Amino acid sequence: MQTYSNDKRYFDNKSKFEGILQAVCNYTNMSDLSQFNTNAVGNPNNNIFGLPFTEEEALLVILPVPWEVTVSYGAGTSRAADHVFKASTQVDLLDCNVHEGWKKGFHMRDVDKKLLLKSDYLRKEAELYIDYISKGEKVEDNKFMTKSLKEINEGNAFMNKWVYDNSLDLLQKNKLVALLGGDHSISLGYLKALAIQHGEFGIIQIDAHCDLRNSYEHFKHSHASVMYNALEEVPSITKLVQIGVRDYCDEEWDYICKSNYRVVTYLDQSIKERRFEGETWRQITDEIINQLPQKVYLSFDVDGLDRKYCPNTGTPVQGGLETEEVLYIIKKLVDSGRKLIGFDLVEIGVGPSDWDSNVGAHLLWRLCNLIVKNHTV
């Protein structure tokens, strides 16, 4: 006896029904969006910024990476994404520079709790390890420390592979991707994925530090080595322009000087001296942008800002940039016709108040709008 489920007519009708159902869903989503009130309080039942987009509907997907294993000073950034998400519902949705950019869709994935737990576990090992070597002890003289170092390096490699796999999957679905950290080490896997998708590109880095150490504290994928690793492991990166640097070592300066201008570093001191002597921020910005290729990635460590904006960032340094100075550069970069192909926002701290996450949410909003400006759905 032939069952109905094996009848060709069943599959034809099923296909037609699914098509109708999808059309109804699309219509429903359009209706919902047309009635979305940008003036109302952010709905916490929606996604980031209170926006009603699923991952499938969104052009831009924010990938939180809850990782801070190798941080060498203040901790807390592994939990920043949840705090930024909560603060995002307080962000007003009018951006005069990119009017209704949000309609292209922003969506943030849930924080991967397993990755967070792995970070927590390895962070405790790293704290003991860092305390041990800071006193001048040799790692090879202690079996426990040798084992810890091995586990930490393996954990960082696992995290980079996780970021690579997730970001490449999204890129291949024609999504724009933004990373929300987490410490600065999270960027490497995404940069490798971008090289697969885009070929050659440049990086504009906002940071108090160069992050050009060969390794730091024997951690191969340290937050203090991310740009060194990127330049050494991703040949597609043709240019690195660093802005706001004010804390660096001999090894890093030597690397910059020998890079044949593959790395150009605008020290915070030099920027300020040029402005003291009469140059405008626009003149300096134009000079910075002219050194970048057509495709550009933004790597934004919030410690590049004046600490009043990020008091609980992991490794603060006096001095730094204003938020609007940074956003002006990115706006001018996009207006120049260059394509912003991705960005990370990292090292946001978690403190007794919500100030860091509030600033982080507002920065994230502005950057999301800027990255979609020259992209179509």
Quick: pLDDT tens for 30-52.
436 778 888 988 888 899 999 99
* CA quadruple 194, 222, 113, 181: dihedral sign: negative
Q: Kindly state the average pLDDT of the residues 301-319.
A: 96
Q: Kind of pairing, strands 237-245 and 201-206?
A: parallel
Selection from 203, 167, 163, 201 nearest residue 185 by Cα: 163
Distance of alpha carbon 264 from alpha carbon 225, whole angstroms: 17
pLDDT value at position 32?
62
What confidence tens digit (pLDDT) does each residue in 252-294 have? 999 999 999 999 999 999 999 999 999 999 999 999 999 999 9
Percentage of the residues of the chain whose pLDDT score is greater than 90? 80
For residue 137, the model assigns a pLDDT of 87
Q: What is the pTM of this model?
A: 0.89
| Residue with the larger pLDDT of the pair 188 and 18 | 188
How far is CA 92 from each of CA 95, 96, 189, 281, 361, rounded to the nearest angstrom? 8, 11, 32, 27, 11
Q: What is the mean pLDDT of residues 90-108?
A: 94
Query: From its phi and psi, is residue 228 left (phi > 0), alpha (psi between -120 and 50) or beta?
Result: alpha
- pLDDT above 80: residue 13: no
User: In sequence order, what are the residues at sequence separation of 6 or more whose Cβ sits closer than 8 angstroms to the Cβ of residue 356?
Assistant: 80, 83, 302, 310, 311, 312, 313, 348, 349, 350
**22-54 as b/e, with b when 16 or more CB fall inside 10 Å?**
eeeeeeeeeeeeeebeeeeebeeeebbbbbbbe
Q: Helices (H), strands (E): how many in the chain?
A: 11, 8
What's the rounded mean pLDDT across residues 300-324? 97
Q: What DSSP element (H or E) covers 83?
A: helix 80-88
Mean pLDDT of all residues in the chain?
91
Which pLDDT score is estimated for 368? 98
Assigned fold of 41-114+162-372: Arginase; Chain A (3.40.800)
Judge whether 313 and 80 are in contact, CB under 8 Å.
no
| Side-chain-facing half-sphere of 249: CA atoms under 13 Å | 9
Q: How confident is the model at residue 10 (pLDDT cuts 50, 70, 90)?
A: very low
What residues form DSSP beta bridges with 180? 64, 345
